[in-house]
Amino acid sequence: MKRKKEKEPPASLAPTLLRWYDAHARVLPWRAPKGRKPDPWHVLLSEYMLQQTTVATVIPYYRKFLRRWPRLDAFAKAGLDEARAAWSGLGYYRRAGFLHRCARAVVKDHGGRLPRTEKELLALPGIGPYTAAAIAAIAFDRPANVMDGNIARVMARLFRHKGPRAALKAKAGRCAPRKRPGDYAQALMDLGATVCLPKNPRCGACPVMRFCAAHARGETGKYPQAPARAAAPRKYGVAFVLRDPKGRVLMRKRAEGGLLGGMWEFPSTSWETVKPGAATIRAAAPVAVPWRGGGRKIRHVFSHFRLELSLRRGHSRGAIRPRSGDYRWIGAREFSTLALPTVMKKIWKAAQEE
């Protein structure tokens, strides 16, 4: 059977998009003013922060980081706990550890200068194919096939693409220009974020409407095709907030490497798909004191499961020694500087309100 020849993307797509970008680019704090080269540290930091996170959420954290660590080598000298504390609230906490390791690797192996090629960037901690391509294009204006969620949506509609993402990426790669690759990638990101929206794309305002196969067929709602997803499981646990007469709070540090690795938490039962019974709760309590509460529920959504914790509060009359060495009493001043993930902040807020 004769294979159908794939239609080539129009050569005028990139120039059209770049003209639109020149007039409509979003003003974002990590973008260099027109005619100036971007600072690679700014691009690196923003790309780490933007993984799975919206621009609006990232901006205040990005500014806070740059105020504190205006240069990559300054950040590399910071302690890991300090980096995690500054990241606290931004979510996906492994990124903070990866960024810190990445900065140290850049100082150690590249003299403090971020490497320019995708291959070298890919070898750094926490940098995957998308981030390597984005940094190479945006920070160093090197030709790269950048595809994030926004760009994938635009491309899927332009080509009415069904099927594997790798095939879509190959089609997108054939559109990528050799001139101004960084601006082209950012133009596609902006188009996806402001015009080619997930629901109700603003096709009337779209600079590439005349190239768009989905629009021509009135099928923009059909693209991109949603991958079949299993419902996220629900997990349960009990969290313990224990204070002593000095106002200190009992905390423990989570193991490195796993979910919320290396971050501080309130002691809790392990998080399981069944609700913990009385014996499990008793065994997980860090000390034997009368525990109050239990009715208040704290809910949090992680990327791959939903968590429901019930809260127990306790007061120790004196200096009780916790059951294991992983725990520490934390005073109020230190508590305010801890790297606390959002779910722990929710627990603390609920404990204050009860």
Q: Position 195: which residue type? A: V
Q: Is the peptide bond before 181 cis (omega within 30 degrees of 0)?
A: no
Q: Minimum Å distance from CB 158 to ligand SF4?
A: 5
Residue 150 binds to ligand SF4 (criterion: CB under 6 A) = no
Does the active-site annotation cover 47? yes
Q: Minimum Å distance from CB 56 to ligand SF4?
A: 21
Residue 187 binds to ligand SF4 (criterion: CB under 6 A) = no
Q: Which of 6, 47, 353, 354 is catalytic?
A: 47
- Partnered with residue 241 across adjacent β-strands are 313
Q: Minimum Å distance from CB 253 to ligand SF4?
A: 46
Residue 38's nearest CA partner among 177, 185, 153, 178 is: 185
Residue 132 binds to ligand SF4 (criterion: CB under 6 A) = no
Q: Taken in order 330, 336, 338, 343, is the CA torsion positive or negative?
A: positive
Cα 317 to the chain's mean position, in Å?
41
Residue 43's nearest CA partner among 55, 58, 32, 56 is: 32
Q: Minimum Å distance from CB 196 to ligand SF4?
A: 3
Rounded to whole angstroms, the Cα distance separating 214 from 232 reads 31
- Contacting ligand SF4 within 194-213 (CB under 6 A): 195-196, 201-203, 206, 208-209, 212
Residue 9 binds to ligand SF4 (criterion: CB under 6 A) = no
- Using the rule CB under 6 A, give the single segment among 53-61, 78-86, 214-222, 290-298 that binds ligand SF4: 214-222
Residue 223 sits at the vertex; the CA angle it makes with 231 and 233, to the nearest 5 degrees, is 5
Residue from the set 31, 42, 169, 215 that interacts with ligand SF4 by CB under 6 A: 215
Cβ(126)–Cβ(102) below 8 Å: yes
Residue 48's nearest CA partner among 150, 141, 125 is: 125
| Of 161 and 346, CB closest to ligand SF4 | 161
Residue from the set 44, 103, 154, 350 that interacts with ligand SF4 by CB under 6 A: 154
Cβ(320)–Cβ(289) below 8 Å: yes
**Count residues contacting ligand SF4 (CB under 6 A)?**
15
Contacting positions for ligand SF4 (CB under 6 A): 154, 157-158, 195-196, 201-203, 206, 208-209, 212, 214-215, 220
Active-site amino acid positions: 47
